[in-house]
Amino acid sequence: MKNFNHAVASAITGLLLAGGNAVWAGEGPAGHSHSHDETFSAGEPGDAKKPARIVQVTMGEMDGKMMFMPPKIEVKKGEQIKFVLRNNGELDHEFVLATTAENLKHAEAMKKNPDMEHDDPNAKRLAPKKVDEIVWKFTKAGEFEFACLIPGHRESGMVGTVVVK
């Protein structure tokens, strides 16, 4: 009965948290992934076989603050970007690309499950001194953000902006 109650609670939680255009599929210790028909607020996963402008994003801690460099990126609607993500810090950090509202909602779920790992088209978690990349096509104009949703990191300054014109 205990396993059944846990499974029901997990299913209900997943359904509640997946409402709207969520950028994540729920919580779980082994991470999560998106279904193939999922839509993303900030565009769509890019095609690694096609040309892309490379934008390097460095994550880390400095003077008691956590930060991304650069903190603001401008792109053209329809442009494909290869984000080369580098964690120069001493702690794990994430890069999650979405709207501010979606990232705030996801950050609340992360507080309940801080070890949630991201390996989604719009999100990566990097250990210290590691490098990874995300290829993304910005199909929608507007202002989006990238943030580290590990509890306490966003609050310490780890948030940046992508302006799509």
pLDDT in tens, 121-133: 999 999 999 999 9
Comparing 58 with 33, the larger pLDDT belongs to 58
Comparing 61 with 3, the larger pLDDT belongs to 61
Contact 101, 14 (CB under 8 A): no
**CA pair distance 54, 74, nearest whole angstrom:** 12
Nearest CA to 140 out of 111, 98, 109, 94 is that of 98
Q: Residue 105 corresponds to which amino acid?
A: K
User: Phi, psi at residue 161, to the nearest 5°?
Assistant: -125, 140
Give residue-wise pLDDT tens across range 55-66.
Answer: 999 999 988 899
Contact 83, 57 (CB under 8 A): yes
**CA pair distance 88, 130, nearest whole angstrom:** 8
How many helices (H) and strands (E) the chain has is answered by 2, 11
**Greatest distance between any 2 Cα atoms in the chain:** 54
Q: What does the block give as tokens for 23?
A: 């950028």
Give residue-wise pLDDT tens across range 52-111.
Answer: 999 999 999 988 899 999 999 999 999 999 999 999 999 999 999 999 999 999 888 888
What global pTM score does this model have? Answer: 0.74
**CA pair distance 34, 120, nearest whole angstrom:** 7
Check whether 41 has a pLDDT greater than 60: yes
How does the average pLDDT of the chain come out, rounded?
A: 80
